[in-house]
Amino acid sequence: QVQLVESGGGVVQPGRSLRLSCVASGFTFSNYPIHWVRQAPGKGLEWVAVISYDGSRKYYADSVKGRITISRDNSKNTLYVQLNSLRAEDTAVYYCAREVERFFDYWGQGTLVTVSS
């Protein structure tokens, strides 16, 4: 069955960096664009970034542009996101989600990032 499993979250100080991973299984990872979506505690969903199936195209939300890099290793069925210069407002659960025909049909369980001194 399709699975997406995020990891790498934790408590990090403001200004520091963090790398999140999303490991996929149950489908041909290299055929699908993958997105990151985050959700601050008690808040709604915020789209963060996307990477095309082959890694050639990437788009980012303005709220993270310049501080984020999304990448993928199709040989390892793994998606990465590097978040730099973290701020309190980056505190959220980060989900990876598979895109099919523009929409997100499978999501991971999320990993919590807490930015706090």
Measure the N-to-C terminal CA separation of the chain; round to a whole number of Å.
39
Cβ nearer to other proteins, comparing 55 with 110: 110
DSSP 58-101: EEE-TTTTTTEEEEEETTTTEEEEEE-S--GGG-EEEEEEEEET
Q: Decide if residue 66 touches other proteins (CB under 8 A).
A: no
Q: Decide if residue 62 touches other proteins (CB under 8 A).
A: yes
Residues 84-113 that bind other proteins (CB under 8 A): 95, 101-105, 107-110
Summarize as ranges the residues that interact with other proteins (CB under 8 A).
Answer: 35, 37, 44-47, 50, 59-62, 95, 101-105, 107-110
